[in-house]
């Protein structure tokens, strides 16, 4: 059994490492730059130094003018919030969870390759597992193993709980990828609060029929989360307010709260989806900053 897990993990790492090293690394660094500065030490004042950087306490103590020296704070902290509820893992023959694992693994490998810290929160209607942020390839591999192997005890989706857990874990502004089907209620207030402090990216991995649902027709389905069978109008099932597709409503809700959206479908190339997202975000940030 362990050999099978190791083989699956090796295959996942092999699939993800090459695109990270050859395609995604540069785009990742340009999109997620370190923010702010941190104090390093003090040194003796030299003509031309900015007087605003004077360290008056050291100057008074030594009788010699000193200035504070700062370095750019490049290290960042990333959190992966990954939905493993029944509605995610039981669809498309497990293909949705496989794609989610691939996307999350490439993000984790990109982070540790840039010497950033990355952590993982797996959730359903409860918190299933937490791996606190750390660095290094072995840590990324631990995250990848959890993505492949952890089985949810819960059936439903409590996205609000996952977001509040992130609020407790993240002590300073961080980048968080929220990977879910967003089939949940009462999470938008939590999303708004976190978006004020953290850089949030929503990742919605869709089934193909969610992008292009059939025009009409009744179908019998089994709800993955409560196990009940029902007959539904398939197109209406994926519609929301005033008949608008649910994914369009989600797009509007996220945009209104300043949350970026990466949207892709099962069967699409995960590398291309992530690279396209990095490039589109880079263009948007450049437009906003005039860069």
What pLDDT is recorded for position 210?
67
pTM, full prediction? 0.77
Most confident of 131-145, 194-208, 235-249: 131-145
What pLDDT is recorded for position 202?
96
The SS3 of residue 44 is strand
Q: State how far the Cα of 205 lies from the Cα of 94, in Å rounded to an integer.
A: 12
Selected residue with higher pLDDT from 276 and 92: 276
The half-sphere exposure of 10 on its side-chain side, counting CA atoms within 13 A, is: 6
Selected residue with higher pLDDT from 6 and 291: 6
Mean pLDDT score of the chain: 83
pLDDT digits (tens, 9 = 90+) for 55-112: 899 899 999 998 887 654 557 899 999 999 987 776 656 788 899 999 999 999 999 9
Give the per-residue SS3 of 69-135. Answer: EEEECCCCEEEEEEECCHHHHCCHHHHHHHHHHHHHHHHHHHHHHCCCEEEEEEECCCEEEEEEEEC
pLDDT digits (tens, 9 = 90+) for 150-193: 999 998 899 999 999 999 999 888 999 999 989 888 899 999 99
The SS3 of residue 256 is helix
Q: State how far the Cα of 187 lies from the Cα of 192, in Å rounded to an integer.
A: 9
What pLDDT is recorded for position 241?
44
Give the per-residue SS3 of 150-211. Answer: CCCCCCCCCHHHHHHHHHHHCCCCCEEEEEECCCCCCCHHHHHHHHHHCEEEEEEEECHHHH
Does 269 score more than 60 pLDDT?
Answer: yes
Most confident of 19-23, 139-143, 181-185, 206-210: 139-143
Does 274 score more than 90 pLDDT?
Answer: yes
What is the average pLDDT across 123-144?
96
């Amino acid at each position: 059994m362990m050999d099978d897990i190791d083989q699956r993990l090796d295959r996942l790492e092999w699939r993800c490492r090459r695109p990270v090293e050859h395609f995604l690394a540069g785009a990742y660094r340009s999109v997620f730059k370190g923010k702010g500065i941190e104090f390093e030490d003090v040194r003796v004042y030299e003509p031309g130094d900015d007087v605003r950087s004077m360290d008056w306490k050291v100057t008074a103590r030594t009788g010699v003018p000193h200035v504070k020296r700062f370095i750019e704070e490049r290290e960042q902290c990333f959190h992966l919030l990954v939905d493993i509820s029944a509605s995610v893992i039981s669809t498309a023959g497990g293909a949705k969870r496989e794609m989610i694992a691939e996307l999350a693994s490439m993000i984790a490998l990109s982070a540790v390759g840039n010497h950033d810290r990355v952590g993982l929160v797996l959730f359903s209607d409860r918190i299933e597992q937490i791996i606190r942020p750390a660095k290094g390839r072995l840590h990324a591999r631990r995250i990848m193993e959890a993505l492949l192997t952890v089985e949810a005890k819960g059936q439903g989706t409590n996205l609000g709980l996952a977001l509040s857990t992130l609020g407790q874990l993240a002590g300073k502004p961080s980048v968080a990828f929220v990977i879910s089907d967003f089939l949940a209620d009462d999470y938008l207030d939590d999303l708004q609060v976190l978006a004020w402090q953290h850089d949030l990216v929503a990742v919605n991995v869709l089934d193909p029929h969610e992008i292009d649902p059939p025009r009409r027709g009744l179908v019998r389905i089994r709800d993955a989360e409560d196990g009940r069978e029902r007959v539904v109008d398939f197109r209406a099932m994926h519609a929301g307010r005033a008949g608008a597709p649910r994914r369009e409503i989600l797009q509007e809700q996220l945009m209104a709260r300043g949350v970026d959206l990466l949207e892709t479908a099962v069967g699409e190339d995960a590398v291309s989806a992530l690279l396209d997202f990095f490039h589109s975000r880079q263009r948007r940030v450049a437009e906003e900053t005039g860069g």
